[in-house]
Structures are given as C-alpha cells and as structure tokens.
Amino acid sequence: MRFWVFESKKYLANPKNIICLSLLVFIIFGLFGFNQIVLKPKLAIHETEMVNLNLQESQRSVEELERMAQISPNDEEVNTQLGYAKEIYNIRLEQKSALDKGDFSLYSDLENNLNKFQLSQIEDKDSKEYKEVMKRIDYHQSIKSVNGVPSIIINDTTDTSFVIGRTIVSWLSSTTFLVLFTILLADNLSSEIESSQIRLYHFLGRGKVSHLITKLIVPVFWTFLATIMSFGVLYLVKGVMDGFGTWQYPYLTEDKTIVPIWSITLKSVLLFLSSLFFITSLGQLLSLVFKKSLVTIGMIVVSLTGFATIAQEEWFQSMKKFFPFEYMGYDQILNDSAVLPDNVFLIGMTYLLTLSIIFFIISNYLYKNYFIRKVGKA
C-alpha cells in the first residue's frame, strides 16, 4: 500500500501526466459541448431538410402518377401505384406538420406507420428489404416499450443515458483518444530508466514483481478514473438539465440486432480497461528493451495510426481479426462485425488481456535482469 501511494504521488506529480490528464478532461468536455451546442442544431436542420425533400419527392410522384392516370384511366397498375403514392404523401405531410410542432413522438409513430405500409407492399418475406423494414418497426416498438424519447433517425435521441452511452462507445474507440492514452501510459517505466530514478527501487527490494505490477496498475487506474469520472459528470449535468432518460434505450447495431444502450456501454468500458492494460504492458516491455520514452511512445503510436489507416483498405478486411488493435474499441467491433468471428467481445478481451500477461511476464524477466546487471553492480 505504501508503494502504491508513493507511485501514485509520483505519477500525478509528473508535469507531463498532469498536462495530458487535464487535456483528456478538457477534450471530453469540450467535444461534448461542441457537439451539443454546434453540431446538434446543424444536424437538426439537415434532418428537417431531408423531411422536406422526402415530402417534395412524394408530391412529385403523386403528380406524375395522376398525369399517367388521366392518360390511361383504366390502367389498374397505375391506379394502384397512385393510391400507394398518395398514402405515402399523406403520411409525410402529417410528419412535416408534427415536426413543425416539435412533436417527435407523433413523427416517430407516423414513420412507423409508413414502415408498416411499406412492409405490406413487399411480397418476398425473405428479402433483405423486408428484413430491414421489419427491424425498423421492431426498433420503434423497443423505444415505446421503455418509454424512450423518439427521434427523426435511428440511434439518435436527446435521451441523456443514450447520448452519454453512445458517446462513450464512439470516443473510447477513437484513434485520437488511444494516442493520448498511450502518452499517459506507455512511458511510465522508460522515463525512470532515462532519469536513473529506477535505481532507487534497489533500496525497496530490487526487482520485486510487486513493484512492476504497481507501475502497471497506477497509470491505468488514474487514466481510467479520469476518463470515467469525466463522462459521469457529463451524465449528471445533462441529466439535471434534460432528464436522465433510461439505460434500457435500444440501440440498433450494424448487424441489425437491437440491444439496450447499457449493454454496449458496459462492454465498451470493459474493453477500454483491457486496452489500457494492453498499452501499458506493451509500453513496459518496449521501455525495458529500448529504454527511451520517445521510442516507446512512438512505436505504439505509429502502430495505432498505421493500423487505423490500413484498416480502411479492402484487401485488409479479412486480416483485421488477427491484430489486437482491432479489438481496442467496441464501436470498431460493431462496425466490423461482418468480418469478425462470433462472440467477438469475449475474444477481443481475452486476446488483449492474454497479450498483456505475456508482455508483463517478459517485462518482469527483463526487469529483474536489469537490476542484476545495473543496480547489483552499484
């Protein structure tokens, strides 16, 4: 416990760590405020424009079919299509009226009626189109069942629990955040090797595995705490202002599975914690091999950014699952579900933690040898 307190004080006294932790908190609060104050209104305007555009297209379709019906009044197919087009137009007209009044609940109900009407027109029950429309209907019913706040588009609502949960899932998968976490975590050991402070551990019992474990856990603990507390404060502030909503709010994944937002948020946090251990243990290993902070941080950052770049290439898609960087964000897993195996969350966590243990075992061997060679001769 005494060594834990010592390491924590030393970690938090490091100007680089204080600056990076402050920057992390500032980015989280700043980006969230920017999204809510600047981007959200712009998105609302875009959504309104799309509603108006859909209404105009429906109106043109009705007018075109009416002209065709006048030319061929006995054409049953044209008359059927005209009735179909008028039904859609009337629904979209009501949606426009609901949106003008700010009644998103009514708008959502009308959109669901439109989906049901479209579903009735699809003959092939096994078609992709039928299944997609059916999922939209199921998603609407899921929102209703938890008394959630509806919205114009799927996976977008003012419900605080959903907003914070979705933000956590998205941001903790961001390469930018992973790079910042690397700067906070990876050089905790190499900086002491460079400054020769590591020689002080000789007096505490040279090369003890408990020392290395503490140096692994301390940076992970403070980085994890600062991140989760920042999101917690955002949740409290937005909840007090707009209501806390429900953590049961449904989320529609890329593979058309409906899950509660708490589920993917929890998985994202657990995977985030696993990623922190992976980065830190890898940083310890590289520190003991190269003994330079810039080299240690640089190699991990280059690996992260390089993977993020090459992961966009079509030829690389089938190879993604073999790289640990693929599993360092749950949002990334959700987006790449088509090329990843089943039970990918458990596989990802197991992969990252297993590599972390392997890195630590190798680091512990190098750490003991370092004291035997260096400190033991002092």
Could you tell me the residue range of the domain that residue 122 belongs to?
Answer: 103-155
**Does the pLDDT value for residue 204 go beyond 60?**
no
SS3 letters across 111-148:
HHHHHHHHHHCCCCCCCHHHHHHHHHHHHHHHHHHCCC
State the sign of the Cα–Cα–Cα–Cα dihedral 135, 139, 141, 146.
Answer: positive
**Does the pLDDT value for residue 302 go beyond 50?**
yes
**Does the pLDDT value for residue 378 go beyond 80?**
no
Q: 266: buried, middle or exposed (CB in 10 Å: 19+, 13-18, 0-12)?
A: middle
Domain count for the chain, please give it: 2
Judgement on whether residues 210 and 356 belong to the same structural domain of the protein: yes
Judgement on whether residues 206 and 316 belong to the same structural domain of the protein: yes
Judgement on whether residues 144 and 224 belong to the same structural domain of the protein: no
Asked if residue 366 is part of any domain, the answer here is yes
Judgement on whether residues 124 and 172 belong to the same structural domain of the protein: no
**Does the pLDDT value for residue 249 go beyond 80?**
yes
Compute the average pLDDT of residues 109-118. Answer: 88
Q: What percent of the chain has pLDDT over 70?
A: 93
Domain C-terminal end among 155, 189, 221: 155
Lookup result for tokens 């190499």:
190
Asked if residue 41 is part of any domain, the answer here is no
Model confidence, pTM: 0.86
Asked if residue 296 is part of any domain, the answer here is yes
Give me the chain's average pLDDT, please: 86
| pLDDT the model gives residue 198 | 59
Which region among 20-29, 191-200, 261-270 has the lowest average model confidence (pLDDT)? 191-200
Of 344, 228, 225, 219, the residue nearest 282 (C-alpha): 219
Asked if residue 64 is part of any domain, the answer here is no
Judgement on whether residues 205 and 349 belong to the same structural domain of the protein: yes
Judgement on whether residues 185 and 108 belong to the same structural domain of the protein: no
Asked if residue 335 is part of any domain, the answer here is yes
Judgement on whether residues 253 and 163 belong to the same structural domain of the protein: yes
Judgement on whether residues 307 and 336 belong to the same structural domain of the protein: yes
Cα–Cα distance measured from residue 147 to residue 307, given in angstroms and rounded to the nearest whole number:
41
Inter-residue contact 192 to 283 (CB < 8 Å)? no
Judgement on whether residues 126 and 223 belong to the same structural domain of the protein: no
Asked if residue 284 is part of any domain, the answer here is yes
pLDDT (tens digit per residue) in 38-87: 888 887 788 888 888 988 888 898 888 888 888 877 777 878 888 888 88
Domain C-terminal end among 111, 133, 155: 155
Judgement on whether residues 146 and 172 belong to the same structural domain of the protein: no
Read off the pLDDT band of 281 (50, 70, 90). very high
Judgement on whether residues 172 and 246 belong to the same structural domain of the protein: yes
